Structure formats: structure tokens, C-alpha cells
Amino acid sequence: MQQWWTLPWLCALLLGLMGVRVSGSDFQHHRYEDMVRALFAVQSECPYITRIYSIGRSVEGRHLYVLEFSDNPGIHEALEPEFKYVGNMHGNEVLGRELLIKFSQFLCEEYRAGNQRIMRLIHDTRIHILPSMNPDGYEVAARQGPEFNGYLVGRGNSREIDLNRNFPDLNALMYYYEKTSGRNHHLPLPDNWEHQVEPETLAVIKWMQNYNFVLSANLHGGAVVANYPFDKSRDPRIRGRTTYAATPDDKIFRKLARTYSYAHSWMHKGWNCGDFFDEGITNGASWYSLSKGMQDFNYLYTNCFEITLELSCDKFPPASALPREWLGNREALVSYLEQVHHGIKGMVYDENNNPIGNAEISVSGINHDVTSGVDGDYFRLLLPGTYTVTASAPGYLPSTSTVTVGPAEAIQHRNKT
């Protein structure tokens, strides 16, 4: 088996902000038709680096549109990681939706202006932006408006189902496997799962199946904190509190959460919305236990590492608050996206240089494997350090290499057996 190991680049450039307008007239709340027009306007302005596609429809038939940024839209390029941002999963938590619309405009504008940092991101990354996972719930919340919006009005979809409690529960199976030395990744879905989830959830799961996402963030509101897996506690409540539920990748998840928190203008300060979170981050289960959530599902069913970003005390802030929120989140959105290039990436080939898909990539000491994509490429997020990495596939001898991950420019290591 032959493999290429590539250490990723670390972008150390400061964000060059060119032509970014922050006047209040540039910010507004977007109803569904307004959002669609805004996304297609971006696509029209930057046609060679964008693509719009729908991953499905909501209960009421609204398209779940994704805006893709890439130097080759619509094409997966080997060794180019796939990244996603998801907003508005809870319909009445609207800041993420507006930030992702603005972020899309920003990427287009900065690319056209020649911002080297943004150009490099778009050339080296395939970026997928889903501004609204729950357009039906948003319309319910929007009819109430910012002044009268209730804490729960529009949270669920049109059937009033909370989409962040609607994914198949793989945590219970994972916790069982931990005790029995079972699988540690890509856990099987339950029978008839497609009939047990909402159309929006089904669309997102199919999306995950069709793209080999590496890193993701899910934008929420109601607090200001970067929340990382696991969301579901392994243990019952103890004295009214749930306990910390660490993943095997707890260290990298903490790093990812801190990346967003410290790049955010005030999240890292900890005191927000009457709560305190040290460094502006929290383990999900340590905060409160949640079953059938999306971030845990990403980690247990796919190669994707996802965190949940709670971005505002007010779930439906007035339009006048949006400029400040954009400036507070702009650098964090870029910095977090750049993390998709940290760790190792490589190709898995056989002796005839044929790519091997679905090969397992294991890292000694971290009980969570990832798999190669159909093109034989794989991505493994890791902190700087030296690792023993093994690639294996049925019918082939496993190949093991020692790889050093550092903050320097990418280097390549070739291993052939």
C-alpha cells in the first residue's frame, strides 16, 4: 500500500479587510425570498467560484439552499478538504442565518478585491454554507418580529419538532462499544431511520453522506459560547448536573472551540448573558445533556468534526444590532474555517496506484478512526505532535508511518509497502 502524508499549512496572515461596509443599511433580516435573492446575488457576482444547490425541501416545501465556494465549484478535488457552516437550525435563532449571508457576501467581495488570505482559502478548501436549515420555523418567528419573539416561537420546524433532537441517537451505541471494544467511528444507523426523522434532518443526513466533510460549525443563539462534543452525557445526573462527556478527540475539540472563542470579540471573556464559561467554551454534556443532537451525530456517523456556536444572548436581535455582531464574528468565522487545514491529510493507494476508498485511518492513542473518500484521500484533524498513523483496508496489508504535525508549511512523507 502506498500513501502520501501531507502536513497542512498554517495561515498566519492577518485578515486584510478591503472594501467592507458596516453601515446599518447593509444589514437586514432576510425572509425566505430575501435570503434566496441574496444567495443568488452572490452567485451572480462571483460565478466562477460559487455554486448554489439544494439539499432538499422543508416540510412546507422551501428549498434548503447551500452556497458553495471553490475554485472548481461542484467538483471534489483530491486532498482539498470539505467544510460546512450551518445556520438557523432553530428557526427563532436568527443571527447565524444573517451572519452566514453576510459571510457569503464577504467571501465574494474579498476574493474579487484580491485578499490573499481569502483567495487561498477558496483555492484550497471547498466551502459549503447552509444559511437556514429551518426556513419554515424562521417564517413563524419572523412573523412575531424581534420585539415580540418568544423563546420558543418558531424554534422547531412547521411540525414543531426540534431538529437538534431529531438525529438518530448513536451516542448510546458508542458508549456501549466503548465498554466492549466495538467500532469507534461510522456507527450504523438504526433500521427505518429515514422514517423517524423530519424532512430537514433527512436532507442534512443525505448531505453528509454525499460529501466527505472534515470540519463544521452549527450556528445557534440564546447564549454566547463555543460548545463541543459530546452533547450527551455518559452518566445520569449527579446532584442536578450532568458530567463532562469527552470524545477521544477532546483536546482537538477544545482547540477548535477556543479558536472561535478567542477570535470572537467578546466570547472568550466568559461572562455573557448572565452565564460564565471559562475561555468562552464548554463541553456540551457538562453544560446540559442533549440526546439526538447534530454535532454528536457528525462525529459518530461521518468523518466530520462539528461544534455548536451559541452567538447571541438575544435569539432574534434587532437589525440595528447586526453590524456589531458581524464585526464581532467576522474574524472568528474565517479563523475557524482555516482549522480544516490542521493535522494530516493523504492518499491511500494500492500497489498499482489505484486509490482505495473507505480505508480506515487510525492514530495510536486516539480511539476514533476516519476513513478515506472515494478518491482515496483522507483528512485527520490533529494538534501539533508526533503520531503513529496506520492505514488499513480489507485485502491489503496495513501501512504504518510516524508523522509529525507542526505549525510549519506543509511537507510530504511517502510510505510504500
- Annotated catalytic residue, options 82, 139, 310, 360: 310
SS3 393: coil
With residues binned 3-state (H G I as helix, E B as strand, rest as coil), the percentages for the chain, rounded to 5, are 35, 25, 40
Residues 6+ apart with CB under 8 A from 352: none
d(CA 32, CA 38): 10
* Per-residue exposure over 288-305, b if at least 16 CB sit within 10 Å of its own CB, e if not: ebbebbbbbbbbbbbbbb
C-alpha cell at 216: 463544521
Cβ–Cβ under 8 Å, residues 134 and 89 = yes
- Of residues 128, 127, 204, 126, the one with CA closest to residue 163: 204
Please name the helix (run of DSSP H) or strand (run of DSSP E) that holds residue 413, with its range, or none.
Answer: strand 412-416
Backbone Cα Rg of the chain:
21
List the Cα angle 278/279/282 in 5-degree steps.
65
d(CA 133, CA 199): 10
Strands 305-312 and 223-228: antiparallel
- Our answer to whether residue 139 is catalytic in this structure is no
- Of residues 46, 86, 44, the one with CA closest to residue 65: 86
- Of residues 396, 397, 399, 401, the one with CA closest to residue 411: 401
User: Which residues are the active-site residues?
Assistant: 310
